[in-house]
Chain A
């Protein structure tokens, strides 16, 4: 195998070409990475998710610990009658059989509902929207027409919007209890990776610079 050789001729032209190539390649990589991001955004866009036909309002939900706690109370008083929350150990009060007879459909378990109806917080907002969209039309509910579930809160309940927000926050937390741990660890990891990447970048630069000075 050939041993390493270096050409000492026209290093200037060489480095010029390298710069040109490098910047071009940087642009290339940037565009590739960008298209990757774009694709990720597209995948997450409302156009591609199953609940895409429904307008989910961009309401600001409060995901604080207090809201989640209140939401748990709302769940116990208003939802637990029919819905289980099996991964959190909540049984429903009535049996699935009775519910199916009463409403036509068995009430689904809610442990992962906030994840099943949208990415990120979208699923929680879907749940909120659904709970506050009961009306007197034949469709019963504007978010989920002909829904089997009856209105959860009395339609004239002034607290219904707040309760809906709280239970949505609770259900998001129920779907992913480790969310806070994930984000806090993530901050450390990303900070570390930023430093490591910068250090490795400069080690590489130094390594190649030494070579062209040899």
Chain B
């Protein structure tokens, strides 16, 4: 009698536990569509691939364009800027990166214009960054300083300005973004680490 009871208990427990597990899996799985539904919609993701006309940009000229609601810095670097950044000692940088790791074409910087400290938009300093002997970006919020490759030179920012995937469609057109790349949160600072289209 006792054995029968235990046996029945054992069997019922197994069935109940199995059912409860299967049910819990179902509840978990049904949460997924609702969580995913709150992610950016397909049209927003599709808009994340954007073509920019760079034919008119002159030497030394700086532009900001909006991509996925974020500011993107586009800077046509002149020979002085190229020289200056080539001479910078990479090991002295807080976030070391060589020019080849920062740009696809030496004369064009494409990066996200959001300070890596606390998110303000650094301002372009075509002559000299305050307190330094080179042009670059100066963040007014807490004094972060970046060179013309977007590398951190001074101040509280921990990292260089982040990069976005981009390609040259031809000499006059730049395609920024891929459908999958999330953007700022991906936190990429070297060209080689960018996701492919």
Q: So, do A and B actually touch in the complex, CB under 8 Å?
A: yes
A-B pairs under 8 A by CB, number: 26
A180-214 residues with Cβ-Cβ distance < 8 A to B are 192, 195-196, 199-200, 202-203, 206-207, 210
Q: Contact check, A200 vs B19: say whether CB atoms are below 8 A apart.
A: yes
Complex-state Cα separation, A195 to B29, whole angstroms: 15
Answer whether residue B23 sits at the interface, using C-beta atoms and an 8 A cutoff.
yes
Q: Which stretch (B10-18, B71-79, B174-182) binds chain A?
A: B10-18
Q: Contact check, A199 vs B19: say whether CB atoms are below 8 A apart.
A: yes
Answer whether residue B22 sits at the interface, using C-beta atoms and an 8 A cutoff.
yes
Answer whether residue B90 sits at the interface, using C-beta atoms and an 8 A cutoff.
no
Residues on the A chain within 8 Å of B29, using CB: 192
Give 1 or 0 for each of B24-47: 1 = CB within 8 Å of chain A CB: 001001000000000000000000
Complex-state Cα separation, A28 to B82, whole angstroms: 85
Q: Which residue of A lies closest to B12 (CB)?
A: A206
Question: Interface SS of chain A: helix, strand, loop or mixed?
Answer: helix
Question: Interface SS of chain B: helix, strand, loop or mixed?
Answer: helix
Complex partner residue of A196 from B12, B16, B22, CB under 8 angstroms: B22
Q: Which residue of B lies closest to A195 (CB)?
A: B22
By size class, the interface of chain A is 10 to 19
Q: Contact check, A210 vs B12: say whether CB atoms are below 8 A apart.
A: yes
Q: Contact check, A196 vs B8: say whether CB atoms are below 8 A apart.
A: no
Residues on the B chain within 8 Å of A207, using CB: 12
Residues on the B chain within 8 Å of A210, using CB: 8, 12
Q: Contact check, B26 vs A203: say whether CB atoms are below 8 A apart.
A: no
Chain B's nearest CB lies how many Å from the CB of A68? 18
Complex-state Cα separation, A57 to B18, whole angstroms: 50
Complex partner residue of B15 from A192, A195, A196, A199, CB under 8 angstroms: A199
Q: Contact check, B22 vs A199: say whether CB atoms are below 8 A apart.
A: yes
Chain A's nearest CB lies how many Å from the CB of B4? 10
Q: Which residue of A lies closest to B23 (CB)?
A: A196
Q: Contact check, B18 vs A199: say whether CB atoms are below 8 A apart.
A: yes
With A210-B8, A210-B12 given, is the CB distance from A196 to B26 under 8 Å?
yes
Can you offer 6 A-B residue contacts whose CB atoms are under 8 A?
A192-B26, A192-B29, A200-B23, A203-B19, A206-B12, A210-B12
Binding site for A on B (CB under 8 A): 8, 11-12, 15-16, 18-19, 22-23, 26, 29
Given contacts A192-B22, A200-B23, 5 further A-B contacts (CB under 8 A): A192-B29, A195-B22, A199-B15, A199-B23, A200-B19
